[in-house]
Amino acid sequence: MNFAESVVVGLIATPFIISAVLWFLRIIGFYDIVPERTAHAYVLFGNVLGVVREPGLTLLWFAIGPQALLVRLFGTRHVVDMRLDQEYLRSQPVNSEEGAPMGIGIWYEMFVNDPLAFLFKNADPKGSLRANVSNATVRCLSNMPLVNMLVTRHEMSMAVRDEVSAKSNEWGYATGSVYIRKVHFRDGEMIRQIEEKVVNRLRQVTSAIRQDGTNQVNIIRSTAERQAAIEFARAAAQRPYIVGSALAAISQDQQISTAMFELLELQNLLNGGAKITLVPGGKPMLPQLLASVPR
């Protein structure tokens, strides 16, 4: 085998050799790789050798001792997911202080903070936490006044969280945010009655608003009419005074007064529709009248 062939064979064989070596080292428990937000718990013959939470490469011989040599062959490595998780419980049945059957939707988030308690203190910690949240919701929020149940969601959420946190810690869970997302009526007949009351109330309010508007318009209209009548009456009362004052001023000048009354007289004659014969001045009247007779 020449040099080139040796290099090619070496390049091909090196990855397999490295993988085999790494596999062998992991089998004998020399090292382990822990992902982010994950914990590895090592159990040998029923005894917990240790828990590794730090992400990255971990040398097990230094972390849990020489027993790491046997843990992958005769023991168990438990992988615990410690990422944040969330869940939503729909329509948890509670009753208000007034006896109304209500349903509450509650959302909560949790994560594992104690891998050993999560693994060995409860066979179903997630199911137990779900049941605990449901029971705490019913226990803490029952018999509340209906108005408080509808408007104080933050206080309700805090009450449930305080009730759940102590017990969930025993099972390795840490409870994060808890939020009451929905409060609703569970009785369909009650929902229909409430809708009917709301509709009737809206009709009453609409009718009251319309009637109030009509009354306001009537008030404005009557006020305007009254003010107009007052002004017309005042004008009618002022007219004789104004006309009399004008005639008094005109009568002080005899020529203007005479000319005005002559014009008024002529205007009345023209408006009367009678025939008028105009006779030139300075000539006998009879020939003129005879000349004006139509032939």
Q: What is the average per-residue pLDDT within 141-163? A: 87
Find the helix or strand (DSSP H, E) in which 92 lies: strand 85-95
Q: Check: CB of residue 269 under 8 Å from CB of residue 276.
A: yes
Q: What is the average per-residue pLDDT within 67-72? A: 83
pLDDT tens digit string along 88-133? Answer: 999 888 888 888 888 899 999 999 988 888 888 888 888 898 999 9
Using alpha carbons, select from 64, 56, 69, 67 the residue that is nearest to residue 29: 69
pLDDT(279) > 80: no
Within 10 A of 187 (CB to CB), how many other CB atoms are there?
Answer: 13
Q: Check: CB of residue 88 under 8 Å from CB of residue 53.
A: no
Q: Check: CB of residue 157 under 8 Å from CB of residue 133.
A: no
Residues of the chain above pLDDT 70, percent: 93
Find the helix or strand (DSSP H, E) in which 176 lies: strand 173-185
State residue 61's pLDDT score.
82
State residue 179's pLDDT score.
92
Query: pTM higher than 0.75 for the full model?
Result: no
**To the nearest whole number, what is the mean pLDDT of the chain?**
86
Find the helix or strand (DSSP H, E) in which 220 lies: helix 188-251
pLDDT tens digit string along 224-272? Answer: 999 999 999 999 999 888 988 988 888 888 888 888 888 988 888 888 8
State residue 72's pLDDT score.
80
pLDDT(293) > 80: no
Least confident of 174-188, 232-246, 266-280: 266-280
* Alpha-carbon gap, residue 81 to 28, rounded angstroms: 24
